[in-house]
Amino acid sequence: MLDRATIRAEQVRVANQRFYDAVAEHYEDVDGRRSPRLRAWLSARLAQIRGDAPGGRLLDLGSGSGFLCRCAKDVFSFRVGVDLSEKILAANKDAFEAYAVGDVNALPFEDEEFDAVTCFAVLHHLYDFAGLVSETRRVLKPGGMFYSDHDMELAFARRFRLPLQLYRRLRGAERHYHQVDQHLTPEVYELAEWQSAGVDAERLVELFEQAGFAATAGYHWYGLSPLSDRLFGTRRCKRGWGPLLSITARKQ
């Protein structure tokens, strides 16, 4: 167990880089949740975001294997991926028009370069959100859109702590990743999954609003498993009743 009070942001950053370098070639296979239905759903979400964005330049933060950028192929005309892991980007070059190695806290781009900034399953890997919000604000054009999805939300994770523990144990993601690379210790996994206890949607919305965005949070189940897709579909839930956090924010 980590002594969380003593952990610094740099340790979380280094753990993420090590982790995704190690699983670069295997990430999507090990995750095992990227179905054609999820792709179609995400493409439709991105089309909505594109409809609200001023133009077609997309920056995907923590783009990893390029899942979101692939889903955005016929939606955004220019898709840029940025990630800490050079290896995962290099293994998935075909997903982007351009990519850069970088940290969401210090993006290697000019001011107001993008019409939309996205994250998919990335928020829970971040130490905190101050850099994400200020850098997103800086690189977005006025009227630009931020969209993030597929992180476990705090209120749900608290309400369903025990079933969630069981789900995670049965899924065995950490075990599977360890099989890919024996050097991925439980400590690296725990550091990389820094906010696995849940992302605080209210706090994140507040941070975006303080930075001059109009932001909303939604909660849903879509894309966790074929069973939950059948049971809950794509409908939105009240906070605490849907595990997956979806955030949309427009720069004013």
Ligand X SMILES: C[S@@+](CC[C@H](N)C(=O)[O-])C[C@H]1O[C@@H](n2cnc3c(N)ncnc32)[C@H](O)[C@@H]1O
Residues that bind ligand X (CB under 6 A): 13, 16, 20, 62-65, 67-68, 83-85, 88, 103-105, 120-122, 125-126
Output 11 or 54, the one with its CB closest to ligand X.
11
Let me know if 171 is exposed, middle or buried by CB neighbors in 10 A (0-12, 13-18, 19+): middle
- Smallest separation, CB 252 to ligand X (Å): 25
Pairing, β 98-101 against β 114-120? unpaired
Reading the block at residue 203, the tokens are 């706090």
Q: Which residues of 126-142 are buried (b: 16+ CB within 10 A; e: fewer)?
A: bbebebbbebbbebbbe
- Smallest separation, CB 173 to ligand X (Å): 10
Output 62 or 242, the one with its CB closest to ligand X.
62
Output 85 or 155, the one with its CB closest to ligand X.
85
Output 17 or 213, the one with its CB closest to ligand X.
17
- Smallest separation, CB 238 to ligand X (Å): 25
Output 49 or 68, the one with its CB closest to ligand X.
68
- Smallest separation, CB 116 to ligand X (Å): 14
Contact 54, 141 (CB under 8 A): yes
Compute the distance between CA of residue 38 and CA of residue 177 in angstroms, rounded to an integer: 22
- Smallest separation, CB 169 to ligand X (Å): 19
Compute the distance between CA of residue 66 and CA of residue 81 in angstroms, rounded to an integer: 7
